């Protein structure tokens, strides 16, 4: 499996812990493996002129003293903090390119994260210290989401007034610095404080606020056929010719490793879910598309495999409840996961079936045990079904390819 491409969000969100308009140097971007020009084209950062450069390690955020001459031929610039006491002793010697500096603002960063978190625009003018992030339309509620660097006094009154001004079903206030405020607790008026996580995928984990507002949801979602498991991330990958990989919140669900048909059936459910951007209403498919039997043994087999691998924070019943049957009882099912939380690794482009390994001995020869012929026939039928299902997965937009010999 290929290593993930560098993500800008940990660096940008960490910088917003310092200021609502924070400086990032070219050296920091290079060290993080980020493309400065790409971020500029995406309007996530903006270029600053050299006169505005501030050293990233300076707690005073002051104009530094510069020595441009002493090591000019070596390509270095000396930087000293003029404050008393200084943020560091003496001179720091940085490459000249490190003085190329950029600005990441809360407005630009959270605008870029809006779609990633399923938010609608929130076009409203607020106080200079408050940034409108978006509107979270989930679980029958419309909740405005805003950001502050840190709580200002009187913070509770500010939040209450803001919730009233914006007229939604409460308020989610994101903070980069807690300032002693208790997060993930519902306050009067449906106000919830969340601390901004520095995740690589830019997921603000807004479901924490939804759970705080409605703490019974997590208990009810096991049996609620319309529920979505906001806190679940599922990854699909393969180690070609060896085994398949299904991870739930980073935990390997081992029952899918060598079962081609189970892996591909779950992959089809995930592909259908990912293709439907309507979080609440999308992702349903007719269960016959899984090419199972009329008694739904195939669907129950998937649920059983998920339930047999409980994940930290998820019970076996919750894992089983990830596959929902339609409340209309019309023969439809879906994977009850946020479509933005599904990951399809590039290794799926080199998929090989591994089920027939069950008919071989450790030496690699065909096993001659009783029932081996019947097992072989069952695996051949499962392989044919899996190949048919893979075609459906591709049509739904997931990059997957069955390699020769697979």
Q: For the segment 132-142, what is each residue's pLDDT rounded down to a tens digit?
A: 999 999 998 99
Residue 378 has pLDDT above 80, yes or no: no
The residue written with tokens 């990989």 in the block is 245
Its pTM stands at 0.79
Q: Is 300 helix (H, G, I), strand (E, B) or coil?
A: helix
In sign, the C-alpha dihedral spanning 19, 24, 29, 30 is negative
Residue 184 near residue 178, CB atoms below 8 Å: no
Edge-first strand order for the sheet with 46-48 is 21-25, 101-105, 46-48
pLDDT score recorded for residue 51 = 57
Q: Return the domain boundaries, the chain.
A: 9-105, 118-200+207-215, 234-395
Given the structure tokens 């499996």, which residue do they identify? 1
Measured distance CA(333)–CA(284) in Å, rounded:
5
DSSP readout, 236-247? EEEETTTEEEEE
Residue given tokens 């060290």 in the structure block: 31
User: Would you state the structure tokens that stand for residue 301, as one six-digit string?
Assistant: 């087999």
pLDDT > 80? residue 301: yes
Note the pLDDT tens digit of each residue in 44-92: 999 886 556 666 656 666 778 888 889 988 989 888 888 888 888 889 8
pLDDT of residue 377: 73
pLDDT at 21 (0 to 100)? 93
Q: Which two tokens stand for residue 214?
A: 């409605």
* Assigned token pair, 381: 């039928």
Given a cut of 60, whether residue 360 has pLDDT beyond it is: no
Which pLDDT belongs to residue 144?
Answer: 98
pLDDT of 363 above 60? no
In this prediction, residue 86 carries a pLDDT of: 83
Q: Calculate mean pLDDT across residues 142-163.
A: 96
Mean of all residue pLDDT scores within the chain: 89
Instruction: Centre a 10 Å sphere on the Cβ of residue 72 and count the other Cβ atoms it contains.
Output: 11
Q: Residue 101's pLDDT is what?
A: 83
Q: What is the mean pLDDT of residues 302-314?
A: 91
Provide the sign of the torsion angle of the four alpha carbons 265, 267, 273, 276, taken in this order: negative
Residue 254: the pLDDT is 86
């Amino acid at each position: 499996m290929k290593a993930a491409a560098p993500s800008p969000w940990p660096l940008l969100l960490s910088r917003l812990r310092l200021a609502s308009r924070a400086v990032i140097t070219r050296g920091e971007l290079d060290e993080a493996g980020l493309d400065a020009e790409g971020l500029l084209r995406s309007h996530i950062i903006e270029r600053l002129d050299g006169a505005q450069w501030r050293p990233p390690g300076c707690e005073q955020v002051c104009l530094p003293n510069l020595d441009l001459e002493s090591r000019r031929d070596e390509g270095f610039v000396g930087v000293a903090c003029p404050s008393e006491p200084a943020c560091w002793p003496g001179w720091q010697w940085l490459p000249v390119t490190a003085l190329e500096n950029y600005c990441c603002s809360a407005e630009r960063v959270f605008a870029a994260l809006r779609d990633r978190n399923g938010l609608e625009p929130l076009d409203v003018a607020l106080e200079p210290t408050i940034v409108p992030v978006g509107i979270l339309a989930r679980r029958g509620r419309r909740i405005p989401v805003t950001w502050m660097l840190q709580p200002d006094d009187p913070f509770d009154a500010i939040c209450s007034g803001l919730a009233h001004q914006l007229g939604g079903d409460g308020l989610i206030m994101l903070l980069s610095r807690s300032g002693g405020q208790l997060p993930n607790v519902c306050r009067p008026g449906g106000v919830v404080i969340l601390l901004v996580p520095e995740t690589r995928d830019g997921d603000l984990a807004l479901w924490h606020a939804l759970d705080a507002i409605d703490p019974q949801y997590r208990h009810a979602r096991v049996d609620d056929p319309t529920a979505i498991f906001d806190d679940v991330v599922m990854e699909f990958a393969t180690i070609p010719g060896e085994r398949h990989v299904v991870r739930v919140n980073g935990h390997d669900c081992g029952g899918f490793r060598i079962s081609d048909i189970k892996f591909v059936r779950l992959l089809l459910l995930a592909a259908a879910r990912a293709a439907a951007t309507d979080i609440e209403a999308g992702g349903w498919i007719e269960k016959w598309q899984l090419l199972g039997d009329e008694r739904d043994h195939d669907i129950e087999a998937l649920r059983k495999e998920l339930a047999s691998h409980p994940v930290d924070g998820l019970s076996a019943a919750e894992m089983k409840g990830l596959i929902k049957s339609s409340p209309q009882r019309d023969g439809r099912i879906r994977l009850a996961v946020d479509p933005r939380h599904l990951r399809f690794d590039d290794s799926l482009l080199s998929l090989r079936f591994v089920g027939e390994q069950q008919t071989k001995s450790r030496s690699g020869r065909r096993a001659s045990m009783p029932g081996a012929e019947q097992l072989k026939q069952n695996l051949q039928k499962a392989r044919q079904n899996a190949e048919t299902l893979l075609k459906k997965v591709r049509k739904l937009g997931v990059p997957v390819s069955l390699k020769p010999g697979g």
